[in-house]
Amino acid sequence: MLTSLSNDRIKAVSALIKQSKMRKQKGLFVVEGSRMVSEVPAALLQELYLSESFAKKKENLPIIEKLTAPTKGRPGLEPVLVSDTVFAKMSDTMHPQGILAVATQPSYNIEDLLTGNTYLVLENVQDPGNVGTLLRTSEAAGADALFLSAGCADLFNPKTVRSTMGAIFRVPFFYYEEIRSFLVKLDAHGISTYAACLEGSEEYTKVSYGEKCAILIGNEGAGLSKAAKEGSRFRVRIPMEGQVESLNASVSGALFLYEVKRQHSGI
């Protein structure tokens, strides 16, 4: 059992939790809690850490057995036992459940992703909770993939991972390099682009979304860049009453995605 914070494995996990740079470098990330850890596809599960008291509880046996059993292409996994005190310090949560996994970051080929019908494109959405919620909503609304700029909150930040509620393992995503050329690429694949912005001349429920479409959502404070607005085929707004200047990014994205879903399902 690991009982020291200076143990190399514990230090490596802490670094993956805290440092986006380390996550990128290793291609790994950390998932916490029974619920989220059970969502990790077996092929991506690299290491399993259990607190002493989690491992001792009878009711946790089934999940531990399921996670550590040998699967196609991978031998059985040996869980790492950690003292409760060290686990609590290593954990990113206030009330750690005592189970945590190191997983390989899923990755996708952009060309494979462009054969669907509905996409969400984020530009510099900086709140990890918003990015995670937008991924979760993308799955619920039936979007085919999420595209992110490098300036967005890291998808593998523990707060983002939690907010996705498992969608991080189910909705494909891709980090694009530059918005102008990326919009050209979408266009070349027959995907119409709709920039969500206050200056939009049409309301989001009065626009007809093509069979293949992508919705662009910008930064929480500044909205979409000029390049994103100009490079999109349509500029569309959500009507707002009162003195509200903008909606929360997760809310805007959801309203658009569900309007697309409504139109695509022919209501």
Q: If binding is defined by CB under 8 A, does position 166 make contact with a copy of itself? A: yes
- Tell me which stretch binds a copy of itself (CB under 8 A): 66-74, 178-186, 207-215, 233-241: 233-241
Neighbours of 105 (CB within 10 A): 14
Order of strands, sheet of 80-82, starting from the edge strand that comes earlier in the sequence:
28-32, 99-104, 45-51, 80-82
Residue that is written with structure tokens 């998932």 in the block: 31
Q: If binding is defined by CB under 8 A, does position 264 make contact with a copy of itself? A: no
The nearer residue to a copy of itself, 51 or 118, going by C-beta atoms, is: 118
- Tell me which stretch binds a copy of itself (CB under 8 A): 7-15, 91-99, 107-115, 248-256: 248-256
Q: Hey, which residues does 215 pair with through a beta bridge?
A: 120, 194
CB of 13 to a copy of itself, least distance (A): 25
* Rounded CA separation 148/266 (Å): 28
- What contacts 24+ positions apart, CB below 8 Å, involve 15-20? 16/102, 17/90, 17/91, 17/92, 17/158, 20/154, 20/156, 20/157
Q: If binding is defined by CB under 8 A, does position 159 make contact with a copy of itself? A: no
Q: If binding is defined by CB under 8 A, does position 94 make contact with a copy of itself? A: no
- What contacts 24+ positions apart, CB below 8 Å, involve 40-46? 40/101, 40/103, 40/169, 41/106, 41/169, 42/71, 42/72, 42/74, 43/71, 43/73, 43/74, 43/104, 44/103, 44/104, 44/106, 44/169, 45/77, 45/101, 45/103, 46/101, 46/102, 46/103, 46/104
Among 12, 81, 113, 251, the residue binding a copy of itself under the rule CB under 8 A is: 251
CB of 159 to a copy of itself, least distance (A): 12
Q: Hey, which residues does 82 pair with through a beta bridge?
A: 2, 51
Q: If binding is defined by CB under 8 A, does position 91 make contact with a copy of itself? A: no
Residues near 136 by Cβ (< 8 Å), separated by ≥ 6? 163, 164, 165, 167
CB of 188 to a copy of itself, least distance (A): 27
Q: If binding is defined by CB under 8 A, does position 245 make contact with a copy of itself? A: yes
- Tell me which stretch binds a copy of itself (CB under 8 A): 23-31, 89-97, 189-197, 241-249: 241-249
Integer angstrom CA distances of residue 35 from 15, 67, 92, 101: 23, 12, 15, 11
CB of 97 to a copy of itself, least distance (A): 14
Among 20, 129, 192, 233, the residue binding a copy of itself under the rule CB under 8 A is: 129
Question: According to CB under 8 A, which residues from 6 to 35 bind a copy of itself?
Answer: none
Among 149, 219, 232, 250, the residue binding a copy of itself under the rule CB under 8 A is: 250
Q: If binding is defined by CB under 8 A, does position 44 make contact with a copy of itself? A: no
Q: If binding is defined by CB under 8 A, does position 79 make contact with a copy of itself? A: no
CB of 143 to a copy of itself, least distance (A): 9
Report the interface residues with a copy of itself, using CB under 8 A.
129, 133, 136-137, 139-142, 163, 165-167, 170-171, 205-206, 238-248, 250-251, 254-255, 258, 261-262, 267
